[in-house]
Amino acid sequence: MKARHKRFVFVALAILGVGIAAALAISAMRSNLSYFFSPSQVAAGEAPTNALFRLGGLVVKDSLARQGDGLTLTFAVTDNAATLSVSYTGILPDLFGEGQGVVAKGRLGEDGVFYAEEVLAKHDESYMPPEVADSLRPVQAADGTETAAGR
Amino acid sequence: MGSDDYSRVVLNIQWSCNSPTCVLCAFAVQIKMKLFRFFSPATFYPLAGRLTPWFAALAAATLLIGLYWGFFETPNRLGGTNPQKEYYRIIFIHVPAAWMSMWLYLVMAVYSAVGLVFNTRLSFMLARAAAPTGALFTFLALWTGALWGHPSWGTWWDWDPRLTSELILFFLYIGYLALHSAIDDPRRADRASALLAIVGLVMVPVIFWSVNCPDPNKCAALHQRSSMANMEPNILWSMLIMTFGLWMYSFVTIFMRVRNIILIREADTTWVKELVAREQ
């Protein structure tokens, strides 16, 4: 084998190895990267009891309520199987809304309420003007846009 | 082309083509001669110099059109289940910058691989020239993402898979540049950093497929799967035009930088000495 062919084989093997590593990383990310716990996992006791963790799910419609101090908000998060109440004191992000995806970081209290320190909203990937978006998804768009509260 | 380069070309031909009667071999030799001429720094230096103004004009024109279109000819309101406000317009810089950060890494890694296999100096120089522009776009993608993430998601930064892998890409660019400048001998520096560039290639598909979850509400990420079909044509076109503009801008900066690198590395050759004498 000539020197150049040896180098070619070496580089090809390196790229092959890199490709395998990337494929493994991507499949790991798709299957078992626990970025957040769902309400069902919390209900099943899989989430840590005295450590910070992330809770992810959808904000239940008509569950958002402001408490007496005027700062604390409570809402319920669901994954359509289990529901968990969340308490949060602070400013909610712009895209937070009832019926929308949310990721909250905090602790599970003794009373079964999730006390969030940070609430993140997920964004919608639609980049359409309202008329077009409404015509594409009439059912969801009809109630989704105007119910967003808390800001 | 210096005499040194020419002898290397001849040597290469003798290695790969042993039969003088073979027509295919003769053809391959022709192609090779052309390729090696093109890959010679002495030929590429003036070529890059001639092309740079054209790329610069294209970049300026497309970036102006893209920005105007993006800011004034696109919808002011978005619809959908959870519409973004005006801050959605960061998409015209954020997405093109993120695409270019991945594309330039791919370019850098391919040049590195070609350089390692064929020992062509110009490929190493082009890889080294692409790195700072790629790092700049990675930095831009991260920063514009933070500026957008604060109002929409509610945080400047989060360890979401895509954000994390893009940050690692930024460190890879910085690591490539640091490794290259840490080794004094340019040929050794080329080979060592080329290997790092190839190994780091692992991050590009990871970034690309880090958002690959069919159900966004079960997705382990803040980013969500997107599709061009979900975009209004004006938004899509201004984003694509901006991408093209940033690509042309990359050509300009990479060609200007590679010309500097060629001059520094070839300072001892006669053609550079003649060039310097003419300029003075």
- The pLDDT tens digits of the residues spanning B24-64 come to 777 777 777 766 666 789 889 999 999 999 999 999 999 99
Which has more confidence, B251 or A11? B251
Give B151's contacts in chain A (Cβ within 8 Å).
Answer: 93-94
* Cα B260 to Cα B5: distance, rounded to the nearest angstrom: 20
Least confident of A26-30, B55-59, B213-217: B213-217
Confidence of residue A123 (pLDDT cuts 50, 70, 90): confident
Give the pLDDT score at B213.
60
ipTM: 0.74
Confidence of residue B19 (pLDDT cuts 50, 70, 90): low
Determine if the pTM surpasses 0.90: no
Q: Are B233 and B246 in contact (CB under 8 A)?
A: no
Structural Rg of chain B based on CA atoms: 22
CB contact under 8 A, B117 and A11: yes
Q: Which numeric CATH code is attached to A35-147?
A: 2.40.50.140
Give the pLDDT score at B77.
82
* Cα A101 to Cα B113: distance, rounded to the nearest angstrom: 43
- B96-137 confidence digits (pLDDT tens): 999 999 999 999 999 999 999 988 899 999 999 999 999 999
CB contact under 8 A, A99 and B81: yes
Q: Are B28 and B17 in contact (CB under 8 A)?
A: yes
Give the pLDDT score at A66.
86
Residues A15-28 have a mean pLDDT of 86
User: CB pairs below 8 Å between A and B: how many?
Assistant: 178
Which has more confidence, B246 or A23? B246
Give B230's contacts in chain A (Cβ within 8 Å).
Answer: 125-128
Q: Where are the domains of chain A?
A: 1-33, 35-147
* Cα B136 to Cα A106: distance, rounded to the nearest angstrom: 35
CB contact under 8 A, A122 and B216: yes
> What is the H or E stretch that residue A26 is in?
helix A3-32
Confidence of residue B224 (pLDDT cuts 50, 70, 90): confident
CB contact under 8 A, B79 and A129: yes
Give the pLDDT score at A142.
42
Which has more confidence, B37 or A62? A62
Confidence of residue A88 (pLDDT cuts 50, 70, 90): very high
Q: Are B79 and A129 in contact (CB under 8 A)?
A: yes
DSSP for A35-99, please give it: SSB-HHHHHTT-S-SSS-EEEEEEEPTT--EE-TTSSEEEEEEE-SS-EEEEEEESPPPTT--TT
